[in-house]
Structure formats: structure tokens, C-alpha cells
Structure 1
């Protein structure tokens, strides 16, 4: 699936996206809780870059917890970004947000950020060189010592145990209310359109983009989270 096909898919899903994945909220909330603990030492007026922000759930969490922070929300899907704007307006933090519709490379790199999030984005870059380039674009927009919190699906698909983990993940999504047709689409996408790699390999890709050693700070089923730092 190329970038435009992926953008069209998320445009179509935007209006019902949050409701569709509402049953997975416990995993998301745990990820955000740990994210807040990672970012708690940032300046009171920190600027946070949110790459592939979608409907803006992580901004909603961070904006409430850190009332002095400002956010740059980046997403190629205009429909997703519209939902993000609505969330910001409802939450009363829209004036603290800059919304950029487009890919990260179209965002001015002159403005530097204290930290960045990139959740369930890089996994769609099946070419490792393009995945590294994405993280490189993030690194160029962070201040020296800036933090990246990223999350993607990860696992060693070459070992028999992966099928056990995949079955467990699908069962989890089913019990969370994800519809059967979406489960089948997800299973097909994992085999074709999602780069599910061992967690250590993902860390190497992030480091190749200019970050210091990446550490896994979160894991729930197939979903992993890494924290990485730009050299100070």
C-alpha cells in the first residue's frame, strides 16, 4: 500500500476511528501513562511534535497533564486532522496547537521541539531505508537532547511462537469489540503492508537515523514502545 492509498484509507476511517478502537483504550491509556512519566522532566513551556497524530489522542492526554506545553500536530490525512482539531477545541487547548496537513518532510525544520511522539506510524514503511528516513526527519526537528517516544507493532515473524502471539493479539482485539471484517483486514495488512520486525531491529533503525540507543519502555502483545534521545 503506497502513501496515497494509506492516506485515503485513514480519510475514510477518520469519523469513526476512535469509536472503532475504543475497546483498546486500556492499552492506549497505559502507553500514555508511561509517556507522561518519560516526558515529565521537559520544560514547562515544552514544544512537542506529534507525527502521524491521527485523531490527536496523545495530545489530549499531554495537554491536560502539562498545561504549559505547545504541540505541532502533523498528519497527511486531512480528515484525521479535522477530528484532531475538534478534540482540541472541545478540550480547550486548540490555541496551543499548530496543525500541519502533510508529510513530515513538508514541515519547516527550523523550529526545534523538545520531544516527539510517533505512534503506529513507522510500521507502515516496509522499506527499512524509508523508515530510517522518517526517524531522521524527526531527529532534525528536535533540540539537542530531545526525546522521541515511538510505538509500533513488533515481533519476530520467523519463529513459530509468533503465530501464538498473533492469535492472542487478534483475540484481544476481538474481545475489545473490533469487528470481524476489521480483524481480517488487519491480519492481511500485517502480512503485506505492515513491517513487523523484532523489537531490537526497530531500535537499530531508530539509532541509524541519528538517535542514541533506543530502549523499550512499553510492551503489550504485539505493540512495543521505544524511547530514544537525540545526542545532546
Structure 2
């Protein structure tokens, strides 16, 4: 059965592949983007592009209203938008710390709060938060990013306890290093070192993350909630 899906940060990388995965499953998909025009092929294949800065409450509300008007109440929310502002702590500005938390963590609170309204009425829904293996194992130079992504785990598990009785699941996917623009911006020697620590010995691809997200939104995952699913080649095992 076709569902109404909203995916944030859906214009490239993991978000793009996730939009594609839900389209391929026959769902009605809306996706947010902020810094560039919407991907033509996603729009061509029926996805609804929504310009939205997830740190702006009014833009989030507007995006939900547009999605609801086009495809009905949101039944699946994938909170994927995220940024990095890496630096060692002594050199990290207050602004860089706060901006990363606002985009990666506070925006997910804002999105989930808005999505839950319709889900509670329907007594069903799926929320998937995209965290990171860094939240589990830590990473030098990423105290802000790790804090924001670890916060998603506590937020998601608490929300799962709040709304599970209404038939709504909340789960967290924690990708490792993935072949995206964010990874491409890293120095080659840094990428090589990270891959050297990955038991599977390679970088992940966005489609692998998208598959895990799509599974958690499926009927087959209806008894899974509050779970943290690492999709990281094993780099965070034991954490």
C-alpha cells in the first residue's frame, strides 16, 4: 500500500538514495532541499521537492503543509538532514557547536513533533532518525557532530517509549563513513585511516544505508522500535 513519506536532506547522498528507495517501493515521496535546485530525476519520477531550512520552524511547518496537501498526512518521516563543522575543541567556536546541534538534533525534534500530530490521530507511523557511527565510537575533531548524533539516540529512544502504544515506531540508523560529498571533503589520508579501521575494509555506499532505512519503515519491521542499527561495516561494534 502506497504511503506518504517525507525525507529531509533528500537531494543528494544518503537522502537521495533514500528517496529513490521509497519511490521504487511505490510510495508517495516528498523531500526537502536547501542549498541547490531539486534533483531533476527524482522530480521526474514523481517525488515532491520542498525547499526547507529545517532550522526554521516556519519553513518546517510550510513543508509539512505542502506535503500533506499533495500526498496526505505524513506516515513515514526520515530525518536525514545534517551538517559538519569540524575542529578540535580548543579552536571550535560557539557558533559552530550550536549550528551543528541545531541542524542535526534540534531540527529532528521539530520535524518529529510535527509529524507525530498526524501519526497519533492515525494510530500508526514510522520515524527514522539518521545518526552516525561517530555517536557510538567518538571521533577527534567532531565533538559537536558526535554530540548531536548521540543526542538523536536518546531522543529517539525516549520518543519510542512515549508513542509506541499508538502503533508508531521510532528507530535510529547509524551510518559509518559513506561515499557522499561529506566523505569526499575529507583528506585522502584520513579516509584511508578510517577504512583501515573498518572490519569490512571499504567505504559504505548510500544505497546500503537507504536499504536499512526503507526496511525500518516497512511492515516487516513493525515490531522493531527504539533500535539503533549501525550500517558501518562493523567499525562501531562493541560501542
TM-score of the two chains, using structure 1 as the length reference: 0.47
Q: Say which structure is richer in strand.
A: 1
